[in-house]
Chain A
Amino acid sequence: MSTYKFLHAADLHIDSPLRGLDKYDGAPVDEIRGATRAALENLVSLAIEEKVEFVILAGDIYDGTWPDHNTGLYFISQMTALKQAGINVYIVSGNHDAESKITKKLRYPDNVTVFPSKKPKTIKNDELEYSIHGQSFADSSVSENLAVGYPTPTKNHINIGILHTSVDGREGHANYAPCTLRDLTDKGYDYWALGHIHKREVLSEDPYVIFPGNIQGRHARETGKKGCTLVSVNDGNIVAIEHRDLDVLRWFGCEVDASGLSTRQEVLDEISLRIEKIVDDNPDMILALRVRLVGNSEAHYEIVRDKENFFNDCCAIGLGISNSIWVEKIEHKTTTVIESTGVAMDKEILSGIQERANQRADSEEALALLTEELSDFHKRLPPELLKLEGDDSLNDSVAIKRFIMDAKDLISSHLADGASQ
């Protein structure tokens, strides 16, 4: 019986840019250029170091709309490096690859097998006794259940299925090649190498059904460690799976509760402590941090009065702790003690402002009017710029509502201070 290792990775999205990072003095700009490429190079090095038998890539090698053919050629160069080390590569195309024009014209070296999209195919290795089954996406949105059509397992072989799917539908991901976990576990395979979901997840251990996640987080919603899964086969049995990190920059959310903190400085101190902890947990790694300030705090107005300055102070704190920290953004979700006490503030200075702002935010008409008033400005921006994180848009009512709340905070913070600073 045979003994070997293989690697399972997915969702490389080579040359997809990192989103949401604004440059500032001291930010580790050069280090994060070409992060997806660096992660792929880490993958190739790992495969060679671990002397794996083969590498599985479960779809979405490219970003669907990315037009530069250089990206494809670069990928071939990495596959050639694996070929020189005698390592085979098995690929199924995902929705992005199907959309990509690059994929169709590339000539891969002969160690690379791309599974066909018309029907599933099986590659057998009788010497090491394994069979790999796979089917690629024919176009960018495959709505039928591909798993159902996968072949029956080969007897006395380790059977591995490669599939780009969202299994039962996962939040934030298009529901392509839908199937149930049951469809997969019932197939009689030993290992399902899945792709499409960017978060690492082990759906089942008997048999193994695994999303390795993407190899490099690209924005603030792809947080935590990113990499691939190293699988060890001993005497014809999968004996171990092991997650290995490949990323060169790691995203973290850092939620700081400012309740009970009464000054801006105290909040900054708390942020500093939290960042130190994250740095301790992730040594030698470039980190992009999104600080989320929550809680009901006396320091609220002091902070929102000059958000830019506060952001700069946070950046400085980050740089003070490590020169590999990039403070991506500060989400201001704190509230003021004044508003929250609920004590009526008849004729007091802030109540009028707050009421006015709240009225505007709550009225569809007022929002529509405001949107219309801002439309000249919106028209000046390139359309792709209007699109914000998630499904938000700079000119939709959700965003405008948020801006109204920010404006309210801004005025209140100055008025509460006598507007004298």
Chain B
Amino acid sequence: MKFKKLMLKAFGPFTDCDIDLENDGEADGLHVIYGPNEGGKSSTLRAISAMLFGIERSPQDNFIHDNPQLRVGAEISNAGESIAFLRKKGNRATLLSAKDGEVLDDNCLNSHLNGATKEMFFQEHAIDHDQLLAGGKALMANKGDVGQSLFSAGHGVVNLQNLVDKLQTGADALYTARKKKEGIPALIKEYKDIKKDEKTVSISTSQWTKIDKEYRNAEGRSAEVSKQRKTLEQEKNRLEALERTIPLIINRAHLLETLEEFADFTPVAMDVRERRKDIEAKITNIEEAISKEQIDIDSTEKQIAKITIPDGLLDNSSSINEIHQRLGSYKDAKNDKIGLESEKLSIENLINELLNDIETGLRLEEAQRFKLKSAERSEISELSEQFVEVESALKNSNVQLKKLKTKRTINEKALAELETAKEIGLLKRELGNVTRKGDLQVKLKKDEAQLNTKKKQLLNDYKQLGFKLTEVEEVSSIKVPKSSNIKVFQTKFGELKGELGKESDNANRFEEEIGKLKEALQKSSIASEEFGKEDLASARQQRQTGWKAVLSSWLEGKEPDKFDPEYLNGLPLQAAYERDLNKADHIADKRFDNAEAIAKVDNSTQLLEAAKSNLASTNEKMESLEVEQDALQERWLSLWKETGVDADNPEAMLQWLSRLEMTNDKSRDLQDLQTDCEQQKVEVSTCTKRLLKAINELSSEDFGSDDLNELVTYSGELVENNERLQSERRRLENQLHEISEDETLQRENVREQEKALEQWESRWKTLIVKHGFKADETTKVVTGILEQSREIFAKESDLNDKLARIEQIGNANESFEKELTTLLELAAPDLVGISPIEASSKLHEIFEKAKSDRTEKKALQEVLTKNDITLKQEKAALSGFENSLEKLCQQQGCASSDELRIREGKSDEFRELKSKISNVEEKLISTGRGNLEEIIKAAEGSILEDVESDLIDIKGSFETSEIDKSEIDQEIGLRRSQLSEIDGSDNAAKLADEAEVLITRLQKQSAEYITLTIALKILNEEIESFRKENETPLLTRANELFPQLTQNSFAGLEISYEGDEPMLVGVRQNGRHVPPEGMSDGTRDQMFLALRLAALEIGIEGAEPLPFIVDDILIQFDDDRARATLRVLKEVSKKTQILFFTHQARHVELVNEIGGIPVYELPDREMISVG
């Protein structure tokens, strides 16, 4: 198939853009389609995909034309048939005839595309820059694996290794025989574990039946034991009842006997004892109370008698209280007065001191003249402050003036001492020139060092090559044999070696054959008995000789003893003839019998002879060849004699030659370096001279060194020093100018400030004289006096306050003392005459004592009254109780209370007996069964000892049955719990569900594993098969293309068998092999391209080929390689149409240089951004 025309009707940036690829009715060959902007080119490529395989569902090429308007098509020709179509967007019926717009069958392109899908078309019939790079990388990833490399290139599958790895990794992840804890083996283990659990939790029917049966058995036994126990329990109960009743019955009989002793006795009423005891207790209590009461009354009366109260005190109680209250104030006032008087004295002293301070002997009254008004005071203080300001400003200006003067002196001195600078313009220029050239001398030294090292290395290299040299230069005089010459020797040696090898093989073969034949003959038993053909012939010959002898004796009458004695061997003639006859017959017979074996032996013998002769001739040949070889070797060595090199074989010497070539290359490099060094030396010396000249102009002194580095450093210092001197001079001159300006300014200031001070002094004098100060008083003195006077006036007012208070206190104390004396005379005359404070507090003390005595006496009198009343009441109660007791005795017919007590005792005994009998009977009824009579009857005839012994027996039986029952109950419990565990749960079923999930997963993964394994197998087989089929033609063609593409940097491609596996390698012009990983990226890409193009050519042989689309593969190629590639493409395009897309103008220029290639330029239109 070929494109005759591309029709970009409405697609991407294109509107009605047709690209006509026909040239004189032919569309073959290479077509370059140039899109000056990348977008236009990409759109065209997408257009090709769209026209052949349909417009994408969400196209990016609808930014000018809406989806329904998109149209793109082509006119194609295939095997003479031509079709022109347009493609629109949609799912079905997207192909239209370009002629009339009729809908075409969607599949009508399939046959023209050889059934290729879009992916396959762009994979096998297109290559872009990315694929080229990926292809190159794949070659490296394959490590030259021949099968994969050829398959990848052959089909444009750039990432085959990836697919192989993916399949292998997928399979390994699922299963490898080694890994047991991952993938499928892990799942199997999980599955087996679940199955095991399932078995554990599931209960078989037989297990269940067994447990159920044992449960039922135990239930049966349990019922039986229960029945036995019931009988035993009844008997036990009966005996236990008897054991309890028999002692009770005996006890009852004894009690009844005792009761008979109380036959006619009537007991006293039950409450008599209580009543008697109650009355007697009450009497005793009352008697005790009366005696206690009497003691209390006596003691109270004694206490009252002890209390006495003085007269007159209590009557003046209110006056006494008042005086006592005022006592505190009196005491305080007295103390205050003392303090005030001392303060008064100290103030008076202070005032006198202050007055004396102003003026000795100054009195308070005289000082009154300093009492100034507030306005007057502030006027004075204002003037004082002004004085400070004016005076300090004047002082400051004078100081500044002085400082300036000092500064000026210093600067003037420095300027006078400063050195004069020199003219350094020339030196600076020369120095700049040297500096710009860099560190000349260092570089020179480094290069010289390198030169020496390299020279030594080179000399060493030559020595390693076998030359005997002392200087490298000697090599140029040595003449080395040419490679063509060596190759002649190589061929000759090769031929000789080949022939020798062949002959040696022959010799070996013959020797082997001889050995085998000998062995075979030895093995044959017949051979040892000499039944060979020659044996028979010689026997017959002998026989013939004998026969002739017999005939001659017989016919000619020759004497038998005249015959050859050796023949006769001591026998008569007939016997000798008979011997020979027999021998010949025997050999013939034997040969006949062993015909087959003998034939073999005969044959072997013949072969042996032939082999021996062959061996001899071969050895001869070999000898002559060896002679020839020795001669050749001699010539070979003589060829090398002149060089002084020990020659190895020609192959090695060819390699040696290429090594020598490389070394010579190095030697040439070395010469360049040397020239370079010399140039540098000249430059250093020029620079040195010029610098020295510049220095000399500045100084007449000889510098003393011509080292460039030292000169540069020195010049730098010179320049720097002179520049520094110049700038220092400028600085000092400026400063002096500034100082003299400042001095003028300061002098003006001083004059103004002196004037202001004079004005102030006249104002000050006027003011202080007005207020009584001396005219020459300073501001400090005046303000000091004013300050002190203000303090004196403050103290004066304080003193007046104190005097007033002292008078007040004196009056109040006098009135208190008068009142106290009056009161004492009235209430406590004893206290008159002692000090007011002591008298007042003693009076208060005796007054308080009188008050508390009066209260106590009153309380005691009230107690006494109450006690008298109680005593009277108790005595009346006592006589009442005594009457009651007497009455009770009379009622019970007793004369005294003692008699009554005796009767009470007997009544108690009687009642106790009755109660015991009734108790025993109650116990009998409660322990036995039935009524009293029945119980007594049941025990009749029973002896307690017998009952007890029977009971022990029965209890024993009962305990035994208890153990049985417990055992059975345990068994029932166990079985019941086992049965209850089997509750119809679905635990096992759930595990079966889980196992089923795992089975599903395992089967899924197993299927996946098997599929992957088979896929790997098929893929590898296919790769291998492709290799076998295509290796030779593909490599043959690639071998031609690769040198072209690499501009003969490589001689071709080859399969190398050097490693473990055959490997695809590049071959250098010198025959060296370079594996893909040893190539540069660019070369590897070219290797892929060579293979790819070779495969393309082979693939299209015989079939109508599809066009090949090449998209910008030259992006990273330099012009030479790009040109080479374009030439190769042009060559390949003789077999199939190639559309070459580029967006680089440079490539178009190269195409035009080559010539004969049509170029189509796409319209250069501004792209509309589609985001």
Task: Name A's B-contacting residues (CB within 8 A).
Answer: 15, 17-23, 32-34, 37, 66-77, 101-102, 104-105, 260, 262-263, 298, 308, 337-338, 341, 343-350, 352-353, 356-357, 360, 370, 374, 376-377, 380-382, 384-385, 388, 394, 399-400, 403-404, 406-408, 410-411, 414-420
Contact = CB atoms under 8 A, between A and B. Distances in A.
A101 B204 CA distance: 8
Interface in B362-413: none
Nearest to A311: B1004
A384 B992 CA distance: 13
Contacts of B999: 19, 384-385
A419 B1014 contact: no
B1000 A22 contact: yes
17 contacts: A17-B992, A19-B999, A22-B1001, A34-B993, A67-B202, A69-B203, A70-B984, A74-B985, A76-B984, A260-B91, A343-B115, A347-B1103, A374-B1010, A376-B177, A394-B1010, A403-B1011, A419-B162
Contact of A415 (B155, B987, B988): B155
Interface in B997-1013: 997, 999-1004, 1006-1013
Contact of B989 (A37, A75, A370, A414): A37
B1006 A34 contact: no
A67 B205 CA distance: 7
B188 A346 contact: no
Interface string B238-267: 000000000000000000000000000000
Interface in B1080-1123: 1098-1099, 1103
Contacts of A21: 996-997, 1000
A37 B119 CA distance: 54
B877 interface: no
B1134 interface: no
A382 B191 contact: yes
Given A352-B1026, A420-B134, A70 B987 contact: yes
Given A343-B111, A345-B115, A67 B204 contact: yes
A74 B995 contact: no
B1000 A410 contact: no
Contacts of A33: 986, 990, 993
A409 to B, nearest CB: 9
Contacts of B779: none
B1022 A352 contact: yes
A68 B981 CA distance: 13
A304 to B, nearest CB: 10
A400 B202 CA distance: 36
Contacts of A73: 208, 982-984
A376 B1099 CA distance: 41
Interface string B91-127: 1000000000000000100110011110110011000
A17 B993 contact: yes
B982 A356 contact: no
A357 B1015 CA distance: 9
Interface of B: 57, 91, 107, 110-111, 114-117, 119-120, 123-124, 134, 155-160, 162-163, 166-167, 175, 177, 184-185, 188, 191-192, 201-209, 982-990, 992-993, 995-997, 999-1004, 1006-1015, 1017-1019, 1021-1022, 1025-1026, 1098-1099, 1103
Contacts of B116: 345, 348
Given A349-B123, A357-B1018, A380 B185 contact: yes
Best-buried of A343, A370, A399, A407 by chain B (most CB within 10 Å): A407
A353 B1022 contact: yes
B205 A104 contact: yes
B1010 A418 contact: no
B110 A18 contact: no
Contact of A105 (B114, B191, B209, B1007): B209
Contacts of B202: 67-70
Given A70-B203, A345-B115, A420-B134, A410 B1103 contact: no
B1025 A352 contact: yes
A251 to B, nearest CB: 14
Given A15-B986, A21-B1000, A68 B159 contact: no
A408 B91 CA distance: 29
A23 to B, nearest CB: 5
Given A32-B993, A68-B201, A105-B208, 12 more contacts: A19-B1000, A20-B996, A68-B203, A70-B987, A73-B208, A76-B984, A345-B115, A350-B120, A394-B1006, A407-B1014, A419-B159, A420-B159
A37 B158 CA distance: 57
Contacts of A67: 202, 204-205
A20 B1001 CA distance: 8
Contacts of A77: 984
A346 B160 CA distance: 21
A220 to B, nearest CB: 11
Contacts of B175: 377, 380
A246 to B, nearest CB: 17
B119 A416 contact: yes
Contacts of B1003: 385, 388, 394
Nearest to B992: A17
Nearest to B151: A349
A366 to B, nearest CB: 11
A69 B204 contact: yes
A19 B995 CA distance: 10
Given A348-B116, A349-B155, A352-B1025, A19 B996 contact: yes
Best-buried of B160, B206, B208 by chain A (most CB within 10 Å): B208
Contacts of B111: 343
B527 to A, nearest CB: 50
Contacts of B124: 348-349
A15 B198 CA distance: 12
A381 B188 contact: yes
B1018 A68 contact: no
B382 to A, nearest CB: 99
A382 B184 CA distance: 11
B1002 A385 contact: yes
Contact of A101 (B205, B1009, B1103): B205
A368 to B, nearest CB: 14
B984 A34 contact: no
B623 to A, nearest CB: 57
A417 B121 CA distance: 10
B551 to A, nearest CB: 78
Contacts of A260: 91
Contacts of A385: 188, 191, 999, 1002-1003, 1006
A399 B1010 CA distance: 10
Contact of B1019 (A337, A353, A360, A374): A353
A77 B980 CA distance: 13
Nearest to A218: B996
Contacts of B1002: 381, 385
A406 B1025 contact: no
Contacts of B1099: 347
A328 B54 CA distance: 36
Contact of B1014 (A72, A102, A344, A370): A370
A415 B157 contact: yes
Contacts of A360: 1018
A419 B1022 contact: no
B177 A37 contact: no
Contacts of A341: 107, 110, 115
A405 to B, nearest CB: 9
A411 B984 contact: no
- Pairs of residues from A and B, 9 with the lowest C-beta to C-beta distance, nearest first: A343-B115, A74-B984, A68-B202, A407-B1015, A73-B984, A15-B989, A407-B1014, A68-B988, A419-B163
Contacts of B997: 21-23
B115 A403 contact: no
